[in-house]
């Protein structure tokens, strides 16, 4: 075998060795992902081995594709490759470039996966939006060991450079082997066949495809089976965000009936519902608190064994807790857009708030006549173009952001949540003292990397591994203690807000709404009534509490609710007259509770899905393949039962598609 190998022309052997070296480098990153980032409920060794097998085939495909230029250079130049300075520089320059780009991409991919639990895709360009690059760069700086990472990359590049140059020198020192024309042709044909077969990747009629990696419902297994570079490239298509007038008309009667539109006229596509005022209700203030990265499964109210949120638990026990409450998608910007506009963000690339043609909307918050309107954020409201969502749609809104607060910045996200709440209380108290009703959107941020916490009023203390039952901790879903402590700190600050509200006198005449904007990435957990982790819906399931003992008796509400419903609900509670141009409804309306669903979007097997969910059923549509499924959440929640329920399947399919098409239409046709 050694004798046969030595008779092959050195430039052919050189191609194989450089390809093998590149393939080995890709495998190293796959091993890093598996040993340090892979977390799955699937423990079957056969399934994991299958994912590895597919992943290695994808890695080989990428290595072969990237080595095509080197192969062409080698077979054209032959032995001259090792003797010409220009060809040598071209060869080395290309290899350095691909290793540098691969290293940067893989590091970004691992960071993205650590942050969101998803492989890198083209939507990551949203973090490069104008005016946001500096903020996102600071978040990276404060959350990750950037300096050590750069030093590590420099070291890796030095080693790689030494490796591929050593391979070159090894074959440059060998004697060239004369080859007859027919022999040269045979080697080239064989090389092309081997490269083609490796890139094709399958012993089948069709080539290796990314869909083969999605043989389970588990994102982690799918991520292990894919090559992140090839996955990124395969998704590098940006569809123009628009609407389909014909499809909107098709589903309008169904959606209008679902929303309760008065006397709908199909040709007009009018979604408006008029809600009369109720002067008998006391004119309450409204404080809506967005709890950053606060998923339902993380909280005490939903039986998380770590009981990290006692203050929220107390509010839930004495207020209204919505057990089946969802955000339309996992993203802070998408959630802020959804709650403010009453429309789910269904934009595929970036987010709706970053789309100039979408930020102009008729919103319920704008109709709080006689109210002062506040948006309070510890950082800067230029992130994700959120400033325009408020200032463009809510007349007279006052924005309190960095630069206003006296407290120093805690991290990239601005002042700490404790300081934000402390200084916000001064604003609320001032309005209360002059008997001026107000509606405020208070956005927290510290339950987010880099997970900055302070001592608060001097009595908040971070817990260490010595302070907690680590065996119990491993069943809770928390990724690490920093994430756990950040949620404890968020809960601590919720308690701080309520203490200040009582001391400042506005507690009893204020409607408080607390909601999570999405769940943080979690490790597998199994304490919820349904397998949310395996279903991938845990990212959208969040707590929502409305607290006002003066108006509402303590209760748990089981019918489905959504961020879209919050402003219509609090508007009705305050008794103001308003017109609802959105897709939201009153959360406390029990007349059609059994028919209520929440529209959600989530990633399953790295494919984007949309669907309708309530306490009984989940209906989902894979937006890439158009595959559908109906799941009975009170039976086997992972078993597709659409064949056994054809009528319900048909109804929910129309409702899901109708909600989606209506959203796309209203995004561009709900202007003031």
CA 432, CA 331: separation in Å to the nearest integer?
33
Question: What is the distance of C-alpha 82 from the center of its chain?
Answer: 49
CA 94, CA 109: separation in Å to the nearest integer?
22
Alpha helices in 78-145 (DSSP H): 85-116, 133-143
Percentages helix, strand, coil for the chain (3-state, rounded to 5) are: 50, 10, 40
Q: For residue 10, what is the enclosing H or E element?
A: helix 10-36
CA 330, CA 59: separation in Å to the nearest integer?
29
3-state secondary structure 221-239: HHHHHCCHHHHHHHCCCCC
Sign of CA dihedral 553, 556, 557, 563: positive
Contact 538, 304 (CB under 8 A): no
CA nearest to 387, candidates 142, 568, 132? 132
Given the residues 135, 332, 454, 537, select the one marked as catalytic. 332
Q: Which residues contact 98 (CB under 8 A, 6 or more apart)?
A: 22, 66
Map residue 315 onto helix, strand or coil.
helix
Contact 375, 367 (CB under 8 A): no
Cis ω before 450 (30° cut-off from 0): yes
Q: Which residues contact 52 (CB under 8 A, 6 or more apart)?
A: 30, 34, 224, 225
Map residue 80 onto helix, strand or coil.
helix
Binding-site sequence positions for Mn(2+): 292, 332, 517-518
- In whole angstroms, how far apart are CA 279 and each of 412, 571, 576, 587? 44, 12, 8, 20
Cross-strand partners of 622:
609
Structure tokens at 620: 């989902």
No. of helices (H) and no. of strands (E), the chain:
19, 18
Binding-site sequence positions: 292, 332, 448, 517-518
Map residue 268 onto helix, strand or coil.
helix
How many other β-carbons are positioned within 10 Å of the β-carbon of residue 29? 20
Cross-strand partners of 611:
600, 620
| CA angle (562 as vertex; 560, 566 as ends), nearest 5 | 120
CA 469, CA 189: separation in Å to the nearest integer?
63
- In whole angstroms, how far apart are CA 499 and each of 90, 176, 457, 508? 68, 83, 12, 12
Binding-site sequence positions for substrate: 448
CA 73, CA 78: separation in Å to the nearest integer?
8
| CA angle (634 as vertex; 537, 561 as ends), nearest 5 | 50
Q: Residue 422 catalytic?
A: no
Annotated catalytic sites, by residue? 332
């Amino acid at each position: 075998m050694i004798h046969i190998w030595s008779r092959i022309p050195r430039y052919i052997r050189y191609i194989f060795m450089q390809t093998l070296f590149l393939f080995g480098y890709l495998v190293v990153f796959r091993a890093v992902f598996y040993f340090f980032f892979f977390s799955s409920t699937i423990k079957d060794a056969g399934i994991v081995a299958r994912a590895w097998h597919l992943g290695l085939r994808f890695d080989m495909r990428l290595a072969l594709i990237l080595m095509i230029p080197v192969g062409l250079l080698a077979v054209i130049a032959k032995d001259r490759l090792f003797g010409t300075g220009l060809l040598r520089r071209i060869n080395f320059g290309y290899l350095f470039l691909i290793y540098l780009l691969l290293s940067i991409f893989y590091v970004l991919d691992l960071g993205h996966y650590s942050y969101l639990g998803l492989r890198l895709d083209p939507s990551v360009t949203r973090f490069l939006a104008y005016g946001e690059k500096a903020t996102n760069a600071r978040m990276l700086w404060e959350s990750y060991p950037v300096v050590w990472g750069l030093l590590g990359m420099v070291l890796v590049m030095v080693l790689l450079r030494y490796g591929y140059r050593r391979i070159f020198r090894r074959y440059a020192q060998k004697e060239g082997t004369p080859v007859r024309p027919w022999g040269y042709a045979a080697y080239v044909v064989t090389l092309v066949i081997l490269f083609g077969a490796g890139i094709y990747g399958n012993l089948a009629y069709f080539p290796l495809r990314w869909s083969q990696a999605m043989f389970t419902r588990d994102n982690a297994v799918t991520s292990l089976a894919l090559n992140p570079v090839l996955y990124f490239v395969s998704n590098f298509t940006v569809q123009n965000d628009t609407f389909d007038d014909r499809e909107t008309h098709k589903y309008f009667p169904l959606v209008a009936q679902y929303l309760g539109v008065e006397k709908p006229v199909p040709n007009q596509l009018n979604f408006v519902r008029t809600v009369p005022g109720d002067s008998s209700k006391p004119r309450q203030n409204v404080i809506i608190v967005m709890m950053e990265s606060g998923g339902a499964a993380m909280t005490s109210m939903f039986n998380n064994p770590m009981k990290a949120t006692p203050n929220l638990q107390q509010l839930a026990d004495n207020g209204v807790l919505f057990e089946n409450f969802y955000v339309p998608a996992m993203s802070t910007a998408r959630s802020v857009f959804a709650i403010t506009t009453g429309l789910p963000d269904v934009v595929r690339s970036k987010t709706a708030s970053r789309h100039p043609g979408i930020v102009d909307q008729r919103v319920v918050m704008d109709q709080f006549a006689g109210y002062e309107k506040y948006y309070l954020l510890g950082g800067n409201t230029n992130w994700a173009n959120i400033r325009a969502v408020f200032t463009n749609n809510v007349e007279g809104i006052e924005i309190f952001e960095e630069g206003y607060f006296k407290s120093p910045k805690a991290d990239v996200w601005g002042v700490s949540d404790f300081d934000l709440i402390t200084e916000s209380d001064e604003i609320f108290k001032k309005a209360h003292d002059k008997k001026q009703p107000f509606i405020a959107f208070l956005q927290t941020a510290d339950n987010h990397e880099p997970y900055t916490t302070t001592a608060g009023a001097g009595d908040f203390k971070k817990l260490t591994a010595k302070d907690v039952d680590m065996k119990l901790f491993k069943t809770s879903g928390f990724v690490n203690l920093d994430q756990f402590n950040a949620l404890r700190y968020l809960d601590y600050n919720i308690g701080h807000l309520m203490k200040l509200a009582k001391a400042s006198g506005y507690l009893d005449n204020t409607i408080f709404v607390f909601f999570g904007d999405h769940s943080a990435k979690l490790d597998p957990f199994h304490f919820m009534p349904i397998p949310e982790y395996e279903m991938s819906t845990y990212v959208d399931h969040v707590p929502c509490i409305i607290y006002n003992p003066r108006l509402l008796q303590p209760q748990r509400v089981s019918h489905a609710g959504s961020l879209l419903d919050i402003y219509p609900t609090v508007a009705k509670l305050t008794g103001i007259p308003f017109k609802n141009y959105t897709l939201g409804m009153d959360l406390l309306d029990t007349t059609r509770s059994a028919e209520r669903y929440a529209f959600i979007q989530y990633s399953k097997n790295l494919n984007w899905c949309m669907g309708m969910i309530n306490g009984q059923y989940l209906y989902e549509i894979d937006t890439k393949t158009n595959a559908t499924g109906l799941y009975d959440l009170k039976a086997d929640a992972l078993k597709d039962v659409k064949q056994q329920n054809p009528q319900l399947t048909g109804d929910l399919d129309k409702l899901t598609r109708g909600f989606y098409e209506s959203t796309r239409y209203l995004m561009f046709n709900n202007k003031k």
